[in-house]
Amino acid sequence: MNNNLVQTTTKDELILNGLYKSGDKNKPVVILIHGFTSDFYSHKFFHDIQKSLTENELANVAIQTRGTGIRTEFIKNGRRDGVWMGSFYEKLNEAHLDISAWIDFLKEQGYKQFILAGHSLGTIKSVRYLFEGEYADDIKKLILLAPFDKNGYIEKLTEGKWKQYAKMADQKTKEGKGQETIPDGYDDYPMSYQSYASWYEDSELSNIWDFYKGDKYNCTLLNEISIPVQIIVGDSDDFFYIPKFSTIDSTKKILESNISDLELNIVKGAGHTYVGFEDEVAKLVNKFIASK
């Protein structure tokens, strides 16, 4: 199997890098999508998943997205200068452009079936792709690693003020100030107004992991997912459920009630990035891909 550092270009001309491992073109290819402020190479569980997939002749690519790092300079196609992106500037409604660019790359290699495997914020991007993505019909399975209840997290952090903050961020963005920094207290990570507005807009796509609502959970999008879904989460992951509002059991109930074809794996003792449990996660991923 070949291991290659490769590039693709989005429709808005961002050049993205990724680690591609080739495989059997008659089998689905797995696209690994990193989380908030992260990248495609730092976490060991990504490496272990890629190694395991490759041993089973399953092609895979761990991808860079426009949300890599906090402030990251990207080169634009055909230009000598770059553009600043990263989680600070990223808008979630543009995430599908990155995934589509990688599917374009993989189609050029001869692959026809695709599995999205997102981690943390990447789980939100993966689900959103089914509703926003150019090649949504070509996605055969979803693997969701450590879903992130971002709205529950910010509800606790801001004591309920985040909806007001989101409206202010949206107004600032409309005034042409979207790339300015949000005030202290809006979040505990640096972020621009445009990014904040995209994270916390009041929409179904923004509310898919609203586990903190418990019995009042009311997002209908998960019911529309018809492909098999695997969720792998550690029972010590405090981004998956927010103890102030919910429990792991109430969160499991929401998922099992709303996703029709779901395999839910709880890894005992694991946290948000599966440190010490990487091999177990890799085995679960391979088993799910081989099923059905």
* All domains of the chain in start order, with CATH: 3-290 (3.40.50.1820)
- pLDDT tens string 60-119: 999 999 999 999 999 987 777 789 999 999 999 999 999 999 999 999 999 999 999 999
What pLDDT was estimated at residue 38?
A: 92
Distances (CA, A) of 285 to 20, 54, 116, 231, 240: 18, 12, 11, 9, 19
What pLDDT was estimated at residue 2?
A: 63
**Mean pLDDT along residues 228-236:** 97
* Per-chain mean pLDDT for the chain: 95
**DSSP assignment string, 71-129:** SEEEEBTT-SSEEEESTTT--GGGHHHHHHHHHHHHHHHT---EEEEEETHHHHHHHHH
Closest CA to 227 of 281, 179, 285, 288: 288
What pLDDT was estimated at residue 204?
A: 94
What pLDDT was estimated at residue 31?
A: 98
Q: How confident is the model at residue 1 (pLDDT cuts 50, 70, 90)?
A: very low
- pLDDT tens string 29-72: 999 999 999 999 999 999 999 999 999 999 999 999 999 999 99
- pLDDT tens string 137-169: 999 999 999 999 999 999 999 999 999 999 999
Exposure on the CB side of residue 162, measured as CA atoms within 13 A? 20
